C-alpha cells in the first residue's frame, strides 16, 4: 500500500501512464498527473476515480509540457512551493517516431521530450525527493534502445533524421541517464531504476503509418499479441512501491525482473559525457 505517498506520473492521461496512475491510486497513493493536455488529463482523472472508487483527493492534474523548458521550470516551481514531500517520480511520458519537428527550445522533438525534458524535470525535483527519503525515481525506457546510438556530433538530428533511430536513441539516453544518476545518488536515500514495458496497446504509435487495408489485421494482432496498458504499467507500479527493490540502484527491469543490458547502455564514459552535454543543453549551471 502507498498510503500517504505522493507520486508524480508524467504523461498520465493515456496509455501506460494512465494505467500507472490508476495502479498507484488503487494502492491508496496520491498521484499528480503531469500532462501537456490538461483537459485530457482531467477527463482521465475522472475516469480513474470512477474505475477505482478513489477519493478525489488522491488525483490532481498539473500542466507540464516536456517540449518546453519554461513549462518544466514553472511546473517544478509550483511543486516545490505546494508539495511538502515527493515520494516517487515516474518519468513516463514519451513521443514515438514523430516526423521531424523541434521543441520550443529548438531540440529534436523525441530527444527533447523523452530525454532532455525529463532530465531537467528530475534535476529540479531532486532536492524535494532528497527531503522525502526513502524516495524513488522510475524511468520508462524501451527495448528499442538496442537500435539506438549516441552520436555526440549530431544529438539534435540536424545532419540527418530517421524517426525510428531518433526514438531508439532517446530510449538509450534514458538508460544512460539512469546509470549515471544512480551513481550520483549512491547513499542519498533516493533510488533510480528504469524499465522496458514491452509492446503495449497505446496511442504512442499514432505517428506510425499503417496501410488502411492492413488496419483490421493489425488491430486483431495487437489485441492478441500486445500487452494491455495495465500489463505494461505493472513494472512501473512495482518499481514505485515494491519492497523487493528497496535500495536497488541504477538497474533496468522488465516484467518486474532485472534485465541484462547491452554494453552500450552500461557505458559509464558515454553516460557521463551525455550527462554533461545534457546539462549544457537544458541550461543547468553547476
Residues with catalytic roles: 167
**Separation CA 174–CA 195 (nearest Å):** 10
Contact between 188 and 128 under an 8 Å Cβ cutoff? The reply is no
Contact between 83 and 135 under an 8 Å Cβ cutoff? The reply is no
**DSSP letter (8 states) at residue 260:** P
Q: Where are the alpha helices (DSSP H) in the chain?
A: 15-26, 38-52, 69-82, 109-111, 118-131, 163-184, 215-225, 229-241, 268-282
Q: Which three cell numbers stand for residue 261?
A: 543490458
Would you put residue 195 in left (φ > 0), alpha (ψ -120 to 50) or beta? beta
Q: Which three cell numbers stand for residue 113?
A: 521530450
Contact between 168 and 94 under an 8 Å Cβ cutoff? The reply is no
**Separation CA 142–CA 204 (nearest Å):** 12
Contact between 226 and 232 under an 8 Å Cβ cutoff? The reply is no
**C-alpha 180 chain-centroid distance:** 16
**Separation CA 192–CA 249 (nearest Å):** 6
Bond preceding residue 134 cis, omega within 30 of 0: yes
**Separation CA 55–CA 50 (nearest Å):** 10
Closest CA to 90 of 6, 172, 173: 6
Amino acid at each position: 500500500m502507498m498510503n500517504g505517498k505522493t507520486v508524480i506520473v508524467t504523461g498520465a492521461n493515456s496509455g501506460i501512464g494512465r494505467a500507472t496512475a490508476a495502479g498507484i491510486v488503487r494502492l491508496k497513493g496520491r498521484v499528480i498527473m503531469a500532462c501537456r493536455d490538461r483537459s485530457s488529463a482531467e477527463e482521465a482523472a475522472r475516469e480513474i476515480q470512477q474505475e477505482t472508487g478513489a477519493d478525489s483527493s488522491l488525483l490532481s492534474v498539473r500542466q507540464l509540457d516536456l517540449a518546453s523548458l519554461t513549462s518544466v521550470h514553472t511546473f517544478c516551481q509550483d511543486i516545490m512551493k505546494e508539495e511538502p514531500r515527493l515520494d516517487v517520480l515516474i518519468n513516463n511520458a514519451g513521443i514515438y517516431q514523430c516526423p521531424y519537428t523541434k521543441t520550443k527550445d529548438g531540440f529534436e522533438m523525441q530527444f527533447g521530450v523523452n530525454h532532455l525534458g525529463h532530465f531537467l524535470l528530475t534535476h529540479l525535483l531532486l532536492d524535494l525527493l532528497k527531503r522525502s527519503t526513502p524516495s524513488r525515481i522510475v524511468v520508462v525506457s524501451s527495448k528499442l534502445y538496442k537500435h539506438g546510438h549516441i552520436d555526440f556530433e549530431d544529438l539534435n538530428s540536424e545532419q540527418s533524421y530517421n524517426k525510428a533511430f531518433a526514438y531508439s536513441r532517446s530510449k538509450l539516453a534514458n538508460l544512460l541517464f539512469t546509470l549515471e544518476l544512480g551513481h550520483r545518488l549512491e547513499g542519498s536515500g533516493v533510488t533510480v531504476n528504469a524499465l522496458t514495458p514491452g509492446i503495449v496497446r497505446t496511442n504512442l504509435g499514432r505517428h506510425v503509418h499503417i496501410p488502411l487495408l492492413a488496419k483490421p489485421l493489425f488491430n486483431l494482432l495487437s489485441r492478441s499479441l500486445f500487452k494491455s496498458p495495465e500489463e505494461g504499467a505493472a513494472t512501473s507500479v512495482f518499481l514505485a512501491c515494491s519492497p523487493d527493490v528497496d535500495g536497488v540502484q541504477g538497474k533496468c527491469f522488465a516484467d518486474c525482473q532485472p534485465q541484462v543490458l547491452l554494453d552500450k547502455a552500461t557505458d559509464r564514459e558515454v553516460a557521463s559525457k551525455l550527462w554533461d552535454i545534457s546539462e549544457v543543453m537544458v541550461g543547468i549551471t553547476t
